[in-house]
């Protein structure tokens, strides 16, 4: 078990990881991470989350096709990227191409029968759980990368749902890549909080 970290240290130093070791993640670790996710708040305490954990390389390979195809279509139709942004998108594309080699991927979903009809309340009821998931994974020595692959019709959601047998009443909100980091990363670069803070009025 890695050395315990404080909550604030975890928040300050959590990074997106796109390169993972091949080591599998034990069942009990995944269960602990998901338990932390389900401690999050949700609208009217509806707890509408559902998590689909995929570890089978053959299933991950099938999932890669619709997600990668729609991702490349989006990149091809967008503006040409240069510099740091191009590096980020190149890394993201490489991670997606190698989805089957990532130890685990977790589709974070919403059961629409157990949440508000309001879209903003729906996402406010799942995203805190996703943040808990990532912080818990980090505290246990794992890395995560939050993506939206497979989460909308233009990102391959219907095909992903068919592969995984996800019922119609369930909406994929996002996808988290999970594994032990292959590289050590420093703290994230962030602008000073004063640039974004307003008191009493804008």
Q: Is residue 93 part of a domain?
A: yes
State the pLDDT at residue 20. 96
Q: Chain-centre distance of CA 145, in angstroms?
A: 5
Q: Does 1 fall in a domain? A: no
DSSP 39-74: TS--GGG---EEEEEE--HHHHHHHHHHHHHHHHHH
Range of the domain at 22: 7-183
Tokens representing residue 34 in the block: 């998901």
At 123, is the pLDDT very low, low, confident or very high (cuts 50, 70, 90)?
very high
Q: Is residue 127 one of the residues assigned to a domain?
A: yes
Mean pLDDT over all residues of the chain?
Answer: 93
Q: What is the pLDDT of residues 128-167, one digit of tens each?
A: 999 999 999 999 999 999 999 999 999 999 999 999 999 9
Domain assignment present for residue 20? The answer is yes
Quick: pLDDT tens for 65-122.
Answer: 999 999 998 888 777 777 777 888 888 899 999 999 999 999 999 999 999 888 899 9
- Structurally, how many domains does the chain consist of? 1
- Let me know if residue 27 belongs to a domain: yes
CB 129 within 8 A of CB 40: yes
Residue 2: its pLDDT value, please?
55
Give the C-alpha separation, 9 to 187, whole Å.
10
- Give the largest Cα separation in the chain, rounded: 54
Which pLDDT band holds residue 3 (cuts at 50, 70, 90)?
low
Residue 188 resides in a domain? no
Q: What is the CATH number of the domain that holds 135?
A: 3.40.109.10
pTM of structure? 0.92
Does the pLDDT at position 169 exceed 60? yes
| List of E strands, the chain | 49-54, 104-111, 143-147, 170-179
* Angle in degrees, 0-180, between the axes of helices 157-164 and 57-77, rounded to the nearest 10: 180
Round to whole Å and give the CA distance between 113 and 71.
29
Query: Any idea what DSSP says for residue 181?
Result: B
């Amino acid at each position: 078990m890695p050395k315990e970290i404080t909550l604030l240290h975890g928040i300050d130093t959590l990074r997106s990881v796109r390169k993972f070791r091949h080591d599998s993640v034990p069942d009990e670790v995944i269960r602990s991470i998901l338990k932390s996710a389900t401690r999050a708040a949700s609208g009217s305490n509806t707890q509408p989350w559902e998590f689909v954990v995929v570890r089978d390389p053959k299933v991950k390979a099938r999932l890669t096709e619709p997600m990668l195809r729609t991702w490349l279509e989006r990149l091809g139709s967008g503006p040409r990227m240069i510099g740091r942004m191009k590096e980020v998108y190149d890394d993201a594309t490489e991670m997606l191409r190698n989805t089957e080699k990532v130890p685990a991927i977790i589709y974070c979903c919403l059961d629409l029968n157990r949440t508000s009809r309001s879209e903003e309340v729906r996402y406010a009821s799942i995203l805190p759980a996703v943040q808990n998931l990532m912080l818990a994974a980090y505290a246990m020595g794992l890395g995560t990368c939050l993506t939206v692959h497979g989460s909308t019709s233009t990102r391959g959601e219907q095909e992903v749902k068919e592969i995984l047998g996800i019922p119609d009443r369930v909406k994929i909100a996002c996808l988290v890549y999970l594994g032990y980091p292959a590289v050590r990363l420093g703290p994230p670069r962030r602008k000073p909080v004063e640039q974004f803070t307003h008191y009493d009025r804008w």
